[in-house]
Amino acid sequence: MKILFAASECLPFIKTGGLADVAGTLPKALLEAAPKNEIRVMLPKYKRISEKYRFNMRHIFDTWIHLGWRSQFLGIDELVVDGVKYWFVDNEFYFGGDYVYGSGEFETERFCFFCKAVLESLPRLGFMPDVIHCNDWQTGYIPLLVKQYSRRPDYASIRTVFTIHNLRFQGVGGRSLVDDLLSLGQEALDRIEYSGGVSAMKAGIMYSDKITTVSPTYANEILTPEYGETLDCVLRDRAWDLSGILNGISNKLYDPANDANIAAAFDKNSLEGKEKCKLALLNELGLSQDTSRPLVAVISRLTDQKGVDLISWILPQLISQGAQAVVLGMGDKAYEEHFGFMSWDNPSFAYRCEMNDSLSRRIYAGADMLLMPSRFEPCGISQMLALRYGCIPIVRETGGLADTVKPYNKYDNTGNGFSFCGYSFHSFSFVAGLAMELYRDKTRWQQMVQRAMETDFDWRISAGKYLDLYRSIAGDL
C-alpha cells in the first residue's frame, strides 16, 4: 500500500505543537509495522528549517502551477531520514518568511497553495498513493480536491483520511478568495460555508473518506455542542466514519534508560538515577537542593485551553505546602509576565520562557508531578512523556487525558496519576492535595512511579489501527 502523509509541520524539521510529533513519529511506526508499504511525508519547506537539513535535501523537480489567475513556482526537494522519505514543497513567496503560521487572507492563500501543490506534485514524483492522510485545517482542502481530481484516471483510486488534532482552529477564509484560488465551484463552496466564509476544517470533515481524532474520548466529545466548536452537527452527520485513535510516542526516542539529555539513566526497576536527575535539575534551575521536597512541573503552551489560569492559582498553594515548582513554556503575554514576576519574587519557583526539548526532558526526568488541568485536550503528549519518565500527572478528565491517566485508588493501590472532572480550582486543589499526601508515603509513591513507567503508549499500538483503517478504504493492497 502507498501512503502519503500531508502535514504543515513535522519533527525533526519544524515544530510548533503536537502535530509535529505525530507527523514525525507515526510514519516511522507505520513503516516498522508494515515494511512492504511505501510511506512518504510531504510538508512545506519553511525558511526556519535548520540548515543541516536544508543543505542535505536533494532537488527533485520544479515547475509552475496555476492558483486561480496566479502562476506560482512549485519545487520539490527530498530528504530521507530513518528510512522515511520526506518531500518538501518549495515556494519562497509562501514559506520563505521567518514564521511557520500567520493569519489573515495570506494564511488562507499559503495553505490553499500547499493543498494544490501536494496533488499537482504526485504525477511528477511518480507516486500515486492509495491513501493520503491529511492533518488539521492546513490540509483540509486536499480531500475536496481529490474528489474533483478523481475525474482524471490516475487520481480516481486515491482515498483520504482526515485527522483532527484540534477542532478549535478551522482555517476560515473568504469565500471569494478560496473560490479564486482553487476554483471549487458553487456546490462545494456552499457545502463548506462557515459564518459567511468557508472552512478548510469543514472541507476536510465533509469530503474525506474517513475522519479520525487523536483520542477515543475526544472523538465522542466533539459530537457535542460543548466541544464541537460549532461543527458538532456536521460531525454527527459523519459519526459513522469518525473514530478516535490515540496518539503515541516513540519508546526509542523517549527512553530514560538511554536519553543523553538527562543527568542519569534510570528505569522502573532502578530509580536511583531519577533522584540524580532531580538533584541536577534543581541545581540547573537555581532551586533548593532539598530533594525531599516535591518538585511540581508545568510544560505547556501558556493559554487558557491548557488551564493555565488554574495553574497560576494553585502553584502558590503547593509551594506553601512545601513543594518547589518549575514552568516551561510560552504563550499569552499575561501568563508569561505573571510567571516571570513570580519567579523573581519566589525562591521556590523557576520559570523558563522558551520551548526547549532538551530541557523538557530534564524536567520530566527530574520532576515528581506534572500539572495539566486542560479545559479540553484532544490527546496531549506531555502526560505520556511524564509517565514514561516517572513524573506523575495531575490532569483534568477530558480528551486524551482521560484515556491515558488512570486515577489513583488508595484502597487497592492502583492508578498511574491523579485526575478530576469539573473545571474548578476546588476540584484541582483537592486532587493536588491527594498527590502531595501520597508523596509523603515513600513506599506507595515509588510504587506509583513504577506503575507510571510501565504504561506503554508506543506508536506501534496505534500504527496497527491506522493500517486497518487505511485498508478499510483502500483494500488490502
Bond preceding residue 216 cis, omega within 30 of 0: no
Q: Are residues 346 and 320 in the same domain?
A: yes
* Alpha carbons 340 and 337: distance in angstroms, whole number: 5
Q: Are residues 325 and 286 in the same domain?
A: yes
Q: Are residues 142 and 100 in the same domain?
A: yes
Q: Are residues 277 and 333 in the same domain?
A: yes
**What's the grid cell of residue 440?**
509523603
Q: Are residues 207 and 281 in the same domain?
A: no
The pLDDT-based confidence of 382 (bands split at 50, 70, 90) is: very high
Please state the pTM of the whole predicted model.
Answer: 0.93
Q: Phi and psi at residue 328, in whole multiples of 5°?
A: -120, 120
Judge contact between 299 and 363, C-beta under 8 A: yes
Judge contact between 42 and 89, C-beta under 8 A: yes
**What's the grid cell of residue 205?**
470533515
The pLDDT-based confidence of 476 (bands split at 50, 70, 90) is: very low
Q: Evaluate the CA torsion angle 82, 455, 453, 400 in order and state its sign.
A: positive
Please enumerate in sequence order all residues whose Cβ is within 8 A of that of 306, keeping only pairs 6 or more positions apart, or say none: 300, 331, 372, 373, 374, 375
Q: Phi and psi at residue 371, in whole multiples of 5°?
A: -95, 130
Of the candidates 8, 405, 417, 469, the one whose C-alpha atom is nearest the C-alpha of residue 245 is: 469
Domain that holds residue 148: 2-248+460-474
* Alpha carbons 472 and 157: distance in angstroms, whole number: 13
Question: Per-residue pLDDT tens for 409-441?
Answer: 999 999 999 999 999 999 999 999 999 999 999
What value does the mean pLDDT take over residues 174-201? 95
Question: Per-residue pLDDT tens for 52-78?
Answer: 999 999 999 999 999 989 999 999 999
Q: Are residues 284 and 146 in the same domain?
A: no
Inside any domain, residue 264 = no
Task: With a cut of 70, say whether residue 155 has pLDDT above it.
Answer: yes
H-type alpha helices, 405-441? 425-439
Helix (H) or strand (E) segment spanning residue 31 = helix 18-33
Inside any domain, residue 345 = yes
* Alpha carbons 388 and 268: distance in angstroms, whole number: 9
Going by DSSP bridges, is the β-strand pair 58-67/70-81 parallel, antiparallel, or unpaired?
antiparallel
Please enumerate in sequence order all residues whose Cβ is within 8 A of that of 418, keeping only pairs 6 or more positions apart, or say none: 392, 393, 394, 395, 405, 407, 408, 431, 432, 434, 435
Q: Evaluate the CA torsion angle 269, 272, 276, 281 in order and state its sign.
A: positive
Number of other residues whose CB lies within 10 A of the CB of residue 132:
27
Q: Are residues 302 and 436 in the same domain?
A: yes
Inside any domain, residue 256 = no
Bond preceding residue 12 cis, omega within 30 of 0: yes
Q: Are residues 398 and 297 in the same domain?
A: yes
Judge contact between 298 and 323, C-beta under 8 A: no
Assign residue 316 the CATH number of its domain.
Answer: 3.40.50.2000
3-state DSSP call for residue 327? strand
Alpha-carbon dihedral 381, 431, 370, 459, rounded to 10 degrees: -30
What value does the mean pLDDT take over residues 19-47? 94
Percent over 70 (pLDDT), the chain: 100
Q: Are residues 195 and 79 in the same domain?
A: yes
Task: With a cut of 50, say whether residue 163 has pLDDT above it.
Answer: yes
What rounded mean pLDDT belongs to the chain? 96
The pLDDT-based confidence of 477 (bands split at 50, 70, 90) is: very low
Q: Are residues 89 and 174 in the same domain?
A: yes
Inside any domain, residue 260 = no
pLDDT of residue 178: 97
Inside any domain, residue 263 = no
Inside any domain, residue 127 = yes
Please enumerate in sequence order all residues whose Cβ is within 8 A of that of 125, keeping only pairs 6 or more positions apart, or say none: 60, 61, 76, 87
Task: With a cut of 70, say whether residue 48 has pLDDT above it.
Answer: yes
What value does the mean pLDDT take over residues 123-143? 97
Distances (CA, A) of 15 to 4, 42, 159, 251: 19, 14, 27, 19
Length of the chain: 477
What value does the mean pLDDT take over residues 285-299? 97
**What's the grid cell of residue 351?**
520559570
Of the candidates 153, 155, 95, 162, the one whose C-alpha atom is nearest the C-alpha of residue 129 is: 155
pLDDT of residue 461: 87
pLDDT of residue 17: 82
Of the candidates 401, 308, 304, 307, the one whose C-alpha atom is nearest the C-alpha of residue 351 is: 308
Q: What is the tally of structural domains in the chain?
A: 2
Task: With a cut of 90, say whether residue 469 has pLDDT above it.
Answer: yes
Q: Are residues 293 and 418 in the same domain?
A: yes
Inside any domain, residue 259 = no
3-state DSSP call for residue 39? strand
Full DSSP string of 117-160: HHHHHHHHHT---SEEEEESGGGTHHHHHHHHHTTSGGGTT-EE
Inside any domain, residue 84 = yes
Q: Are residues 201 and 215 in the same domain?
A: yes
What value does the mean pLDDT take over residues 185-214? 96
Q: Cα 4 from chain centroid? A: 19
